[in-house]
Chains A and B, each alone.
Chain A
Amino acid sequence: MLAPAPPPERDPVEVWGRAATAVALLAVDPGGLGGLWLKARVGPARERLMAVLPGLLAPTPAARLPLTLTDEQLFGGVDLAATLAAGAVVRSRGVLGNGPRALVVPMAERLTGGLAARLAQVLDAGQGHCVVALDEGAEADERLPQTVADRLALHVDLSGLALADCPDLEIDPDLIAAARARLPAVRLPADAVETVVRVAHRLGIASLRAPLLALAAARASAALDGEPVVTEDDLICAVELVLAPRATMLPAEPEEAPEPEAEEPPPPPEPETGDDTPEPDADEDNVPDMLPEEVLLEAARAILPADLLAKLAAGKAPRVTGASAGTGAAKKGNRRGRPLPSRPGRLDGQSRIDLVATLRAAAPWQVIRRRLTPDAPQKVLIRAEDIRLRRFEEKSDRLLIFAVDASGSAAFTRLAEAKGAVELLLGEAYARRDYVALVAFRGDHAEVLLPPTRSLVQTKRRLAGLPGGGGTPLAAGLRSALDLADLSRGRGLTPSIALLTDGRANIALDGRADRPTAAEDARRMALAVRATATPALVIDMSPRPQSQLRDLAGEMNATYLPLPRADAGRLSAAVAGALVP
């Protein structure tokens, strides 16, 4: 694993200034902007910002959403306690039932897919709600789900700010109120749409929501400044807050021949000052000579995270999101599985009631309750505290796929050790509910020698006589393992892949002995493994560890483990340690 990149060096005063602007803009047009994605650990900077927010957003009240939020709490539903007491259905309004709200989501990086989808729905409905997502993610793959992030206009990163960098914010609520009144009348200059779209395009932003949100931000900014028409400063502000944080590439210099457009004058020949360095004269008087597009790009370039390129190179910036997105491991069903004893609890729309247990809990109290409420129309008097919920335990079974290189001279020992490791792991499988499968690759193809199983007997029989020798069709082996992983995922297993090899790929997918193609095929298969976010482990069993295998593990997003002369015991311990938590 690479060491985390050092935080980009930024001027704290500017960052804080942008954060203040973001908050003010959000207050002016909460519904139009969708919200604010605030990347910051818990700390004074964030607290300061959050302290002023409710006052600014007023009259829109802020509501803090717990991550365990239920549908009933969010959208409203039946208030069970009140219903039981009244003997008639009483409905609660839910957080969203009473007009626009600013939904503050703490620990937004842990937002589940379900809640994220609902928040996205809420934002799409356009009823004036906005979301303030407080993202405390430390790692690159811990972040707000894209579904929500894409819909929040303002992205602000406060990381690295100390208390001293954050003077008290003084934003006049009257100013905000005046800006809100002015907002509907703010006009866009004729070419603003075009300019913003171009800038977004050149920053590599695919989503079309981004330019829309940028325009909304520019409008809010103009309203705040009291301008009737959006000015260039407003656009710059929008680019800084909306577009630049979404950039996926550094803006290139203007293309030589832009697409034929009637109304667009050709870009004037500009003095070249270097590749990506901000041009020093951007703020000077010759600004009107530049195309607004270039001015905006300069603004974006100046605040692009310095490590963007590094992240792009490492393939980290794009959106293979792990924990919060994707189907797979997180399977905490209280809906299916082995039944557990019922527990008292609240009905929240997610859980299911155990009617018998509920009645049983209510039964002893009937006499007393009847005496207390003699006129109650119900036959059975049930109170909220009687409710018993059904609980189920379901564990997603794990599948460990061994992809074993059976090529070359060392094949026999390696296969024997792999077989031993499989049997060792299976020996503990009853305790841990693991399935094991084995794919061997040799010659020009790979085959599944052991389909996913927990049966030790079957394993021993199937793995009794393993063939070995021949070339190394690494890509074919990976493909078999990946297919098996996909298949098993569909059956509710959670697969991981352990690749055991000592060699380099020398047989391509089509069976030809062609080293470069083979390596390329293996690399692409590795990327395919990465795309499915299957946890993987590459065990290098060669006497001397090889850089190619290390790189391959990197492509696969897998752990690389050099383990020369491993025996079955060490192998199974290593695999269990690396893949099975």
Chain B
Amino acid sequence: MTHPFPFSAIVGQDEMKRAMILTAIDPGIGGVLVFGDRGTGKSTSVRALAALLPPITAVAGCPCNSASREDCPDWAEIRDETLVEKPTPVVDLPLGATEDRVVGALDIERALTRGEKAFEPGLLARANRGYLYIDEVNLLEDHIVDLLLDVAVSGENVIEREGLSIRHKARFVLVGSGNPEEGELRPQLLDRFGLSVEVASPKDIDQRIEVIRRRDAYETDHDGFMAHWTGEDAALRTRILAARALLREVKASDDALRDCARLCVALGADGLRGELTLLRAARAYAAFAGADEVTREHLRAIAPSALRHRLRRDPLDEAGSGTRVERAVAEVLA
């Protein structure tokens, strides 16, 4: 199947879709964590989003999708310097991936056959300017998680080993998905995700039927289905691009900042990353809505996604952290 399932054809799961759109508007929000049951369209929506986004312009031969010749890392031997349009990269990080495959390593066959020291870029290079998707992120091995944390924060991948000393840009939106029943995520990694979304299988039977119907149409009547939904996707793309342009104009008043801080204090979130992300996401959301100022309405809508994973874990609170955030939002932003 060449074309992924269209983003706008995904039924329901509005919070997840919104979170993904916001990271497309402002990649600085810092990634989305999607926790939920199997078969709820987690991977489908990541792949769909990439197909939805406008292509990036990159140097054809550059291993890390640099935008111009000057941006290319000096170790890369670039044979093809033409600028081409590439789809936004979505790189899968499989669970068993080794450190070498993730960060890159010495190109062994060249070292041995030609006696040259060359660097073989890894998944992080390929994900630059795009998305790094980790399914079952909660089962990822700890040392890979450590690597990712480091790179996700600095936006740069530094390799110092086996006689190599190499760095390249690795700015990507981290999208992780997983099933919380199979293991928790380490708090350090949890905090690095800007937004966190909980998805569940739709309970509403009509919604379920609609999901299956669309999926079935996608598989059996591919062309007709795509013809219908490509238009919708194009409209959404236009909106995202408009929001990107508007993003700088969106103002956040002192009151909005105060609201962010009060929310985080009320929830007892550790650190200041909560406020920062909340504000950034709310700004992106305002831009998406075409507003030029962040209002309480925007904060209210975004707060659960931006804050629910930053609370102290309480194994006995069966209500779930989403509800706790909503409660706090109702109190603080009353």
- Residue pairs across A and B with CB atoms within 8 Å: the count is 161
CB nearest neighbor in A for B163: A355
Query: From residue 307 to 329 of chain A, which have CB atoms closer than 8 A to chain B?
Result: 318-321, 325-327
- Contact across chains for A326 and B213 when beta carbons are under 8 A apart: no
Query: Contacts A117-B96, A215-B212, A355-B162: A528 and B113 contacting too (C-beta < 8 A)?
Result: no
Q: Shortest Cβ distance from A25 into chain B, in angstroms?
A: 16
- Contact across chains for B95 and A114 when beta carbons are under 8 A apart: yes
Is B94 close to A, CB under 8 A?
Answer: yes
Is B108 close to A, CB under 8 A?
Answer: yes
| Complex interface bits, A203-215 against B, C-beta within 8 A gives 1, otherwise 0 | 0001111111001
| Complex interface bits, B174-185 against A, C-beta within 8 A gives 1, otherwise 0 | 000001011110
- Contact across chains for A353 and B108 when beta carbons are under 8 A apart: yes
CB nearest neighbor in B for A527: B315
Is A261 close to B, CB under 8 A?
Answer: yes
Q: Shortest Cβ distance from A13 into chain B, in angstroms?
A: 33
Query: Contacts A87-B113, A378-B115: A117 and B136 contacting too (C-beta < 8 A)?
Result: yes
Query: From residue 77 to 128 of chain A, which have CB atoms closer than 8 A to chain B?
Result: 78, 80, 83-84, 87-89, 112-118, 120-121, 124, 126
Is B143 close to A, CB under 8 A?
Answer: yes
- Contact across chains for B109 and A89 when beta carbons are under 8 A apart: yes
- Contact across chains for B38 and A150 when beta carbons are under 8 A apart: yes
Query: Contacts A211-B208, A212-B215, A326-B183: A113 and B136 contacting too (C-beta < 8 A)?
Result: yes
Query: In the bound complex, what is the Cα–Cα distance between A201 and B40 (angstroms)?
Result: 14
Query: In the bound complex, what is the Cα–Cα distance between A114 and B187 (angstroms)?
Result: 22
Query: In the bound complex, what is the Cα–Cα distance between A210 and B139 (angstroms)?
Result: 24
Query: Contacts A193-B216, A206-B37: A380 and B115 contacting too (C-beta < 8 A)?
Result: yes
- Contact across chains for A112 and B96 when beta carbons are under 8 A apart: yes
Query: With a CB–CB cut-off of 8 A, which chain B residues contact A531?
Result: 181
- Contact across chains for A84 and B112 when beta carbons are under 8 A apart: yes
CB nearest neighbor in A for B181: A319
| Complex interface bits, A178-221 against B, C-beta within 8 A gives 1, otherwise 0 | 00000000001000011011101100001111111001000000
| Complex interface bits, B138-168 against A, C-beta within 8 A gives 1, otherwise 0 | 1101110000000000000000001000000
- Contact across chains for A197 and B38 when beta carbons are under 8 A apart: no
Query: In the bound complex, what is the Cα–Cα distance between A88 and B112 (angstroms)?
Result: 10
CB nearest neighbor in B for A258: B205
- Contact across chains for A209 and B208 when beta carbons are under 8 A apart: no
CB nearest neighbor in A for B162: A355
Query: From residue 210 to 236 of chain B, which have CB atoms closer than 8 A to chain A?
Result: 211-213, 215-216, 219
Is B249 close to A, CB under 8 A?
Answer: no
Query: In the bound complex, what is the Cα–Cα distance between A126 and B96 (angstroms)?
Result: 21
Is B43 close to A, CB under 8 A?
Answer: yes
Is A486 close to B, CB under 8 A?
Answer: yes
- Contact across chains for B92 and A521 when beta carbons are under 8 A apart: no
Query: With a CB–CB cut-off of 8 A, which chain A residues contact B95?
Result: 113-114, 116-118
- Contact across chains for B115 and A115 when beta carbons are under 8 A apart: no
Query: Contacts A150-B39, A208-B41: A349 and B205 contacting too (C-beta < 8 A)?
Result: no
- Contact across chains for A209 and B38 when beta carbons are under 8 A apart: yes
Residues of A within 8 A of B (CB): 32, 71, 78, 80, 83-84, 87-89, 112-118, 120-121, 124, 126, 146-147, 150, 188, 193-194, 196-198, 200-201, 206-212, 215, 259, 261, 318-321, 325-327, 333, 335-336, 347, 349-350, 352-353, 355, 358, 377-380, 382, 479, 482, 486, 490, 492, 509, 521, 524-525, 528, 531-532
Residues of B within 8 A of A (CB): 1, 37-41, 43, 92, 94-101, 105, 108-115, 135-136, 138-139, 141-143, 162, 179, 181-184, 186-188, 200-202, 204-206, 208-209, 211-213, 215-216, 219, 315-316, 318
Chain A to chain B: the 8 pairs with minimum beta-carbon distance, closest first: A114-B96, A207-B39, A117-B95, A209-B39, A528-B315, A206-B201, A114-B95, A208-B39
